Amino acid sequence: MSVTREAFIALKETIKGISRDGARRFGGIERDRTSIGIPEIDQILGGGLLQGATHEIMALTPRDLSAASGFALGLVGLLSPRNTPWVWIRQDAAGQELGEPYGPGLASYGLNPAKLLLVQVPNAKEALRAAEESLRCQSLNVVLLEPWGDPKQLDLTATRRFSLAAEESGVTLITLRSGGHSPLGSARTRWDISALPSRSETDFELGLPAFLGRLVLNRQAGAGGPGGEWMMEWSHDKCLFRQANSSLNLSSACDRPATETPSAPALRRTS
């Protein structure tokens, strides 16, 4: 069903009620940056991921969708301390294809599910509307937007509105392009993500989630800064990315059968 104006007003009031200590106005002041956790990446980004901006994440192939979800949630963990509220806006098709958010999985990933405000909408139009409303709520640090595919509503006008709203409020937008192929026009950074095999330090524990991250667009360091490619692991206890073991075989990770793609720990099938 359609999301009414009253529902969006209620969403804004709910966010305000969760935390009233996070209001931040930038008004031309230099915005903060958040460390990724890997010095080389932070340096290329000009000191870290820019807050109050828009960032885009895409899976390199359809079999890497879960890895892209895990990377996006890692960025949420970087940007939103455990005691601050965060919003995840999902189009219904994303949940049908990838599974629904799972509280214990989010907690084990370093995120606080009690601070999550999950907004599930039937179509891209409602998802974009909810994202813009959420970006104007200064009690938030981050909004995770997950439309499905390449909706026509997600055009240059819409993404520019997101950028302006993020700059005004200081709230960061992470757009997870599940099933998408066409890049957005106004993102500050764009990441192509593929899965890597995780490696544990012992034979008796699971390894950390591992990714091959390609920074294919970097507008944080002037007009078109350098990109790069890194093997990364997500450390849930420190809520930081770290350099993965350089002995990982990239070709075997990228060329493996689709059935070997690991599931994102924060999502699970409900049917």
The DSSP call for residue 123 is S
Q: Could you give the residue ranges of the DSSP H alpha helices within the chain?
A: 5-18, 39-44, 65-79, 92-98, 103-108, 124-135, 156-169, 250-255
Nearest of 53, 76, 73 to residue 190 by alpha carbon? 53
Each residue's pLDDT tens digit, 60-92: 999 999 999 999 999 999 998 878 899 999 999
How far apart, in Å, are the Cα atoms of 118 and each of 44, 101, 124, 134, 197? 33, 9, 15, 11, 30
The DSSP call for residue 135 is H
Look at the block and give the residue holding tokens 């995770």.
144
The letter for the amino acid at 261 is T
Residues 100, 85, 243: CA angle, nearest 5 degrees: 70
Q: Is the pLDDT of residue 191 over 80?
A: yes
The answer to whether the CB of 118 falls within 8 A of the CB of 88 is yes
22 versus 247: which is more confidently predicted?
247
At 73, is the secondary structure helix, strand, or coil? helix
86 half-sphere exposure, CB direction, 13 A CA radius: 27
Per-residue pLDDT band for 1 (boundaries 50, 70, 90) equals very low
pLDDT on residue 246: 61
Each residue's pLDDT tens digit, 127-176: 999 999 999 999 899 999 999 999 999 998 999 999 999 999 999 999 99
pLDDT on residue 201: 66
pLDDT on residue 57: 96
Q: What domains can you pick out in the chain, each with its CATH number?
A: 32-198+206-264 (3.40.50.300)
Each residue's pLDDT tens digit, 118-136: 999 999 999 999 999 999 9
Q: How far apart are CA 113 and CA 61, in angstroms?
A: 28
pLDDT on residue 10: 66
Each residue's pLDDT tens digit, 197-256: 987 766 666 788 999 999 999 998 665 677 899 999 999 888 999 998 765 444 334 444
